[in-house]
Amino acid sequence: MNMITLTIDGVSVTVPAGTTVLEAAKAAGIRIPTLCYLKGINEIGACRLCVVDTGGRALAASCVLPAANGMVVKTNTPAVRAARKMNLELLLSNHNKSCLSCVRNTHCELQALCQEYGVTDENRFEGAMTPHTVDDLSPSIVRDNNKCILCRRCVAVCRNVQKIGAIGAVNRGFKTVIAPAFGKTMLETDCIFCGQCINACPVGALHEKSSINA
Protein backbone atom coordinates (compact mmCIF):
# COMPACT_ATOMS: atom_id res chain seq x y z
CA MET A 1 0.00 0.00 0.00
CA ASN A 2 1.29 3.44 -0.97
CA MET A 3 1.70 5.50 2.20
CA ILE A 4 2.09 9.26 2.54
CA THR A 5 3.23 11.40 5.43
CA LEU A 6 1.90 14.84 6.29
CA THR A 7 2.00 17.18 9.27
CA ILE A 8 -1.17 18.29 11.01
CA ASP A 9 -0.90 20.86 13.81
CA GLY A 10 2.73 19.89 14.19
CA VAL A 11 1.96 16.18 14.43
CA SER A 12 3.47 13.91 11.78
CA VAL A 13 1.04 11.27 10.55
CA THR A 14 1.43 8.53 7.94
CA VAL A 15 -1.70 7.31 6.15
CA PRO A 16 -2.58 5.36 2.99
CA ALA A 17 -2.64 7.46 -0.18
CA GLY A 18 -6.18 8.62 -0.90
CA THR A 19 -6.98 9.32 2.74
CA THR A 20 -8.68 12.67 3.28
CA VAL A 21 -7.12 15.30 5.53
CA LEU A 22 -10.08 14.85 7.88
CA GLU A 23 -9.42 11.13 8.28
CA ALA A 24 -5.68 11.72 8.55
CA ALA A 25 -6.35 14.19 11.37
CA LYS A 26 -8.50 11.57 13.10
CA ALA A 27 -5.65 9.10 12.80
CA ALA A 28 -3.39 11.67 14.46
CA GLY A 29 -5.88 12.18 17.30
CA ILE A 30 -6.85 15.65 16.11
CA ARG A 31 -10.52 16.57 15.98
CA ILE A 32 -11.85 18.65 13.10
CA PRO A 33 -15.53 19.60 13.46
CA THR A 34 -17.95 18.33 10.80
CA LEU A 35 -21.60 18.74 10.07
CA CYS A 36 -22.53 17.40 6.64
CA TYR A 37 -19.97 14.57 6.67
CA LEU A 38 -21.01 10.95 7.20
CA LYS A 39 -18.10 8.65 6.50
CA GLY A 40 -18.66 6.56 3.39
CA ILE A 41 -22.21 7.85 3.03
CA ASN A 42 -22.18 11.61 2.59
CA GLU A 43 -18.85 13.11 1.60
CA ILE A 44 -19.89 16.16 -0.40
CA GLY A 45 -18.14 19.12 1.25
CA ALA A 46 -21.35 21.11 1.67
CA CYS A 47 -21.22 22.79 5.08
CA ARG A 48 -17.58 23.97 5.17
CA LEU A 49 -17.36 23.42 8.92
CA CYS A 50 -14.31 21.26 8.47
CA VAL A 51 -12.18 23.90 6.75
CA VAL A 52 -8.44 23.87 7.42
CA ASP A 53 -5.41 25.91 6.37
CA THR A 54 -3.05 24.11 4.00
CA GLY A 55 -1.11 27.22 3.04
CA GLY A 56 -3.13 27.69 -0.13
CA ARG A 57 -5.01 30.81 -1.23
CA ALA A 58 -8.23 29.67 0.44
CA LEU A 59 -9.18 27.44 3.31
CA ALA A 60 -10.11 23.92 2.20
CA ALA A 61 -12.83 21.51 3.30
CA SER A 62 -10.83 18.71 4.90
CA CYS A 63 -13.54 16.06 4.43
CA VAL A 64 -13.08 16.10 0.67
CA LEU A 65 -9.42 17.10 0.51
CA PRO A 66 -7.03 14.22 -0.24
CA ALA A 67 -3.97 14.28 1.98
CA ALA A 68 -0.69 14.72 0.13
CA ASN A 69 2.86 13.77 0.94
CA GLY A 70 4.62 16.63 2.76
CA MET A 71 1.43 18.61 3.26
CA VAL A 72 1.37 20.94 6.26
CA VAL A 73 -2.10 21.46 7.71
CA LYS A 74 -3.30 23.80 10.45
CA THR A 75 -6.73 23.01 11.86
CA ASN A 76 -7.22 25.61 14.57
CA THR A 77 -5.87 29.02 13.56
CA PRO A 78 -7.84 32.24 14.23
CA ALA A 79 -8.72 32.42 10.50
CA VAL A 80 -9.95 28.84 10.48
CA ARG A 81 -12.06 29.39 13.57
CA ALA A 82 -13.47 32.65 12.16
CA ALA A 83 -14.44 30.90 8.92
CA ARG A 84 -16.19 28.10 10.81
CA LYS A 85 -18.04 30.65 12.94
CA MET A 86 -19.16 32.57 9.85
CA ASN A 87 -20.39 29.36 8.20
CA LEU A 88 -22.44 28.59 11.31
CA GLU A 89 -23.89 32.12 11.28
CA LEU A 90 -24.86 31.68 7.63
CA LEU A 91 -26.61 28.41 8.43
CA LEU A 92 -28.46 30.05 11.31
CA SER A 93 -29.55 32.98 9.17
CA ASN A 94 -32.18 30.77 7.53
CA HIS A 95 -32.89 28.44 10.43
CA ASN A 96 -35.84 28.33 12.82
CA LYS A 97 -34.11 29.07 16.12
CA SER A 98 -36.89 27.91 18.44
CA CYS A 99 -34.38 25.72 20.18
CA LEU A 100 -36.17 25.49 23.53
CA SER A 101 -39.19 23.77 21.97
CA CYS A 102 -37.18 21.69 19.50
CA VAL A 103 -37.00 17.91 20.02
CA ARG A 104 -33.25 18.07 19.41
CA ASN A 105 -32.57 20.74 22.04
CA THR A 106 -29.32 19.90 23.91
CA HIS A 107 -28.49 17.09 21.48
CA CYS A 108 -28.38 19.11 18.28
CA GLU A 109 -25.07 19.11 16.41
CA LEU A 110 -25.64 22.64 15.10
CA GLN A 111 -26.45 23.95 18.56
CA ALA A 112 -23.36 22.32 20.05
CA LEU A 113 -21.09 23.76 17.34
CA CYS A 114 -22.61 27.23 17.77
CA GLN A 115 -21.83 27.03 21.47
CA GLU A 116 -18.31 25.81 20.75
CA TYR A 117 -17.62 28.66 18.31
CA GLY A 118 -19.27 31.42 20.32
CA VAL A 119 -22.13 32.11 17.94
CA THR A 120 -24.68 34.33 19.64
CA ASP A 121 -28.30 35.30 18.91
CA GLU A 122 -26.98 38.48 17.23
CA ASN A 123 -26.61 37.33 13.63
CA ARG A 124 -24.91 39.71 11.20
CA PHE A 125 -26.49 37.81 8.30
CA GLU A 126 -30.06 38.16 9.55
CA GLY A 127 -32.46 38.65 6.64
CA ALA A 128 -35.51 37.24 4.91
CA MET A 129 -36.22 33.64 5.83
CA THR A 130 -38.00 31.12 3.67
CA PRO A 131 -41.06 29.72 5.48
CA HIS A 132 -41.86 26.07 4.88
CA THR A 133 -44.94 23.99 5.63
CA VAL A 134 -44.22 21.18 8.08
CA ASP A 135 -44.94 17.75 6.56
CA ASP A 136 -46.46 15.66 9.34
CA LEU A 137 -48.79 13.50 7.26
CA SER A 138 -46.76 10.30 7.47
CA PRO A 139 -47.51 7.91 10.34
CA SER A 140 -44.11 8.34 11.95
CA ILE A 141 -41.80 10.94 10.41
CA VAL A 142 -42.16 14.72 10.69
CA ARG A 143 -40.22 16.78 8.17
CA ASP A 144 -39.65 20.44 9.09
CA ASN A 145 -37.62 22.28 6.49
CA ASN A 146 -37.63 25.40 8.66
CA LYS A 147 -34.84 23.67 10.58
CA CYS A 148 -33.09 21.99 7.67
CA ILE A 149 -29.48 23.03 7.05
CA LEU A 150 -29.22 21.30 3.65
CA CYS A 151 -26.43 18.98 4.77
CA ARG A 152 -28.05 16.19 2.71
CA ARG A 153 -27.17 13.49 5.24
CA CYS A 154 -30.80 12.30 5.15
CA VAL A 155 -30.77 12.23 1.36
CA ALA A 156 -27.58 10.18 1.29
CA VAL A 157 -28.67 7.63 3.88
CA CYS A 158 -32.07 7.17 2.19
CA ARG A 159 -30.52 6.76 -1.26
CA ASN A 160 -27.15 5.11 -0.57
CA VAL A 161 -27.90 2.93 2.45
CA GLN A 162 -31.61 2.19 2.36
CA LYS A 163 -31.73 2.36 -1.47
CA ILE A 164 -35.07 4.15 -1.41
CA GLY A 165 -34.41 7.72 -2.54
CA ALA A 166 -37.63 9.16 -1.12
CA ILE A 167 -36.15 12.64 -0.68
CA GLY A 168 -33.65 14.82 -2.49
CA ALA A 169 -32.64 18.40 -3.14
CA VAL A 170 -35.39 20.29 -4.92
CA ASN A 171 -35.02 23.76 -6.55
CA ARG A 172 -31.82 25.80 -6.58
CA GLY A 173 -30.00 28.51 -4.66
CA PHE A 174 -31.93 30.14 -1.83
CA LYS A 175 -35.01 28.13 -2.81
CA THR A 176 -33.32 24.76 -2.34
CA VAL A 177 -35.17 22.39 -0.04
CA ILE A 178 -34.83 18.73 0.85
CA ALA A 179 -38.13 17.13 -0.09
CA PRO A 180 -39.84 14.40 -2.07
CA ALA A 181 -40.07 15.16 -5.79
CA PHE A 182 -43.09 16.84 -7.39
CA GLY A 183 -44.29 18.48 -4.18
CA LYS A 184 -45.33 15.15 -2.66
CA THR A 185 -45.52 14.52 1.06
CA MET A 186 -43.53 11.70 2.68
CA LEU A 187 -46.75 9.67 2.78
CA GLU A 188 -46.97 9.77 -1.01
CA THR A 189 -43.42 8.49 -1.62
CA ASP A 190 -41.83 5.02 -1.45
CA CYS A 191 -40.66 5.82 2.11
CA ILE A 192 -40.73 2.72 4.30
CA PHE A 193 -40.56 4.80 7.49
CA CYS A 194 -37.36 3.14 8.64
CA GLY A 195 -36.29 6.32 10.44
CA GLN A 196 -32.71 6.29 9.15
CA CYS A 197 -33.15 9.85 7.88
CA ILE A 198 -34.01 10.89 11.44
CA ASN A 199 -30.86 9.19 12.74
CA ALA A 200 -28.79 10.98 10.12
CA CYS A 201 -30.24 14.44 10.67
CA PRO A 202 -27.89 16.61 12.77
CA VAL A 203 -30.67 19.04 13.73
CA GLY A 204 -34.44 18.90 14.32
CA ALA A 205 -35.51 18.94 10.68
CA LEU A 206 -36.54 15.29 10.83
CA HIS A 207 -37.98 13.70 13.91
CA GLU A 208 -40.35 11.02 15.13
CA LYS A 209 -43.98 11.94 15.13
CA SER A 210 -44.51 10.65 18.65
CA SER A 211 -41.87 13.01 19.98
CA ILE A 212 -43.80 16.22 19.34
CA ASN A 213 -46.51 17.73 21.46
CA ALA A 214 -49.07 17.60 18.67
Q: What angle do CA 106, 96, 113 make, to 5 degrees?
A: 40
Of 29-37, 77-85, 141-149, 178-186: span binding ligand FES (CB under 6 A): 29-37
From the list 34, 75, 96, 145, which residue makes contact with ligand FES (rule: CB under 6 A)?
34
**DSSP 8-state class, residue 157:** I
Of 41-49, 116-124, 141-149, 204-212: span binding ligand FES (CB under 6 A): 41-49
From the list 13, 25, 37, 148, which residue makes contact with ligand FES (rule: CB under 6 A)?
37
Q: Cβ of 159: how many Cβ atoms within 10 Å?
A: 17
CB of residue 10 to ligand FES, shortest distance in Å:
22
CB of residue 156 to ligand FES, shortest distance in Å:
12
CB of residue 32 to ligand FES, shortest distance in Å:
8
CB of residue 193 to ligand FES, shortest distance in Å:
27
Cα 158 vs. chain centroid, distance in angstroms?
A: 15
- Interface map 43-82 toward ligand FES (x if CB under 6 A): --xxxxxx----------x-x-------------------
198 binds ligand FES, rule: CB under 6 A = no
CB of residue 99 to ligand FES, shortest distance in Å:
21
Q: Cβ of 44: how many Cβ atoms within 10 Å?
A: 16
Count residues near ligand FES (CB under 6 A).
Answer: 12
Long-range pairs for 31-38: beta carbons < 8 A, 24 or more residues apart:
32/62, 32/75, 33/84, 33/113, 33/116, 34/63, 35/91, 35/109, 35/110, 35/113, 35/149, 35/151, 35/202, 36/63, 36/151, 36/152, 36/153, 37/63, 38/153, 38/156, 38/157, 38/200
- Contact of 73 with 52, CB cutoff 8 Å: yes
CB of residue 109 to ligand FES, shortest distance in Å:
11
Phi/psi of residue 116, each to 5°? -65, -35
Which residue, 48 or 147, has its beta carbon nearer to ligand FES? Answer: 48
Binding site for ligand FES (CB under 6 A): 34-37, 45-50, 61, 63
